[in-house]
Amino acid sequence: MPFVRLRHLRKNAGVRDLVSETGLAVSGLIMPYFVCEGKNTKERIDSLPGIYRLSIDNLIKDVKEAKNLGIKTVLIFGVSKDKDSRATPAYRKDGIVQKAVTQIKKDIGDIAVITDVCLCGYTTHGHCGIVVSPAAGRRPPDKFIIDNDYTLEILAKIALSHAKAGADFVAPSAMMDGQVKAIRDILDMNGFSCTKILGYSAKYASSFYGPFREALGSRPEFGDRKTYQMDYRNTDEALLEVGQDIKEGADIVMVKPALAYLDIISRVKQNFNIPLAAFNVSGEYSLVKEGAKKGIVNERDIILEILTAIKRAGADLIITYHAKEVAKWLRQ
């Protein structure tokens, strides 16, 4: 029986590097940011250690730092105290995201800006869509309806306002049916055919989003997101969602979260030839950070292992709160 002498290929670091199948590059990492109103503001987020709500001036400083480390793309989330039932603060010309994008584009060259397009950070009830039933008063947690098509109109307005501010990509994360098409249409009608769309295509209803909701103050006031985000028992459905987003005009598709969903990443990659992003979400980040702080795992080793595994599964791009620290390590 002939056999391959695999142990020889593992013998020293140089040879291991030579035959490694997966590489982690800074160019494939996207750093998420939370931007808030104010001046020289840097607010700690208890459940997201090392990540802050930054006012625009501090955001600019940090994005410059990221760029110097080789990070070429950032994802912007707006933190708004101004909220209403229809998320109108989300599409104001002088809204927080719109101002932040304008400033980044003015102050920093050669950086791609992606904006998250959703309602949940701007609605009083914290849901990603317009709640229509019951109309008013206290809503029993299991009895409310999200108006998908009304929400599409709002998402389209938000996306257009981000495009006008200069966003390179808009990234709808509301998981409404038809959201990519609604956005593609309004962008094209208004002369923004060059603005691209990153679809949060297969976004699961997940407990890994906890710290993010603290950061944004977007925890739903009643009910949960299971009526619009995906059921983690499903895989075929992820392919349907991704296929649909591609038909509707998505330029990049996404699987989210990443770690417990490597099989989904792998299947999507095998089925479609389109750039695939994975979102290494807030809960995944914070659990690792806390574990490392307690000395349960080696921080650097575990983060590199996790991100490399996400790439190995098939992700072309990774959105991760670790992006800056990893960029530093990869430089050394």
Q: From 209, 195, 268, 152, select the one nearest 32 (Cα to Cα).
A: 209
Quick one: which of 32, 51, 66, 39 has its CA closest to 214?
Answer: 51
Site for Zn ion in 87-146 (CB under 5 A): 118, 120, 128
Instruction: Report in angstroms how near the CB of residue 167 gets to Zn ion at its nearest.
Output: 17
Computed on alpha carbons and rounded to an integer, the radius of gyration of the chain in Å comes to 20
Distance CA 281, CA 3 (A): 42
User: Number of C-alpha atoms within 13 angstroms, CB side, residue 93?
Assistant: 1
Residue with tokens 């619009």: 228
Least Å distance, CB 282 to ligand PBG, is 3
As measured in angstroms, the least distance from the Cβ of 194 to ligand PBG is 24
Q: Which two tokens stand for residue 244?
A: 């649909």
Residue nearer to ligand PBG on the CB measure, 2 or 122: 122
Nearer to ligand PBG, 174 or 326 (CB): 174
203 catalytic? Reply is: yes
Count of CB atoms situated within 10 Å of the CB of 287: 14
Q: How far is the CB of 286 from Zn ion (least distance, A)?
A: 19
Cβ-based nearer residue to ligand PBG, 112 or 205: 205
Catalytic entry in 83, 203, 289, 324: 203
Which residues bind to ligand PBG, rule: CB under 6 A?
A: 116, 118, 120, 128, 173-174, 209, 212-213, 225, 281-282
Binder of residue 264, out of Zn ion, ligand PBG, none (CB less than 5 to 8 A by kind): none
Please pick, among 67, 157, 181, 256, the residue that the annotation labels catalytic. 256
Reply yes or no: is the peptide bond before residue 134 cis, omega within 30 of 0: yes
Q: Work out the burial of residue 309: count CB atoms within 10 Å of its CB; fewer than 13 is exposed, 13-18 middle, 19 or more buried.
A: middle
Judged by CB under 5 A, does residue 159 bind Zn ion?
A: no
Tokens 């990221």: give the residue.
66
157 is catalytic: no
**d(C-alpha 99, C-alpha 95), whole Å:** 6
CB nearer to ligand PBG: pick between 116 and 241: 116
Strands (E), 173-270: 196-203, 252-256
Q: In angstroms, what is the minimal distance from the CB of 174 to Zn ion? A: 5
Cα gap 281→208, rounded to integer Å: 7
Residue number, 21 or 28, with CB nearest to ligand PBG:
28
Cβ proximity of 102 and 165 under 8 Å? yes
Tokens of 172: 């709808």
> What does 72 interact with, of Zn ion, ligand PBG, none (CB < 5 to 8 A by kind)?
none
CB 266 within 8 A of CB 312: no
- Nearest approach, Cβ of 51 to ligand PBG (angstroms)? 9
> Between 188 and 290, whose beta carbon lies closer to ligand PBG?
290
Binding at 282: pick from ligand PBG, Zn ion, none (beta carbon under 5-8 Å per type): ligand PBG
Contact partner, 281, from ligand PBG, Zn ion, none, Cβ < 5-8 Å per class: ligand PBG
Residues that bind Zn ion (CB under 5 A): 118, 120, 128
Residues involved in catalysis? 203, 256
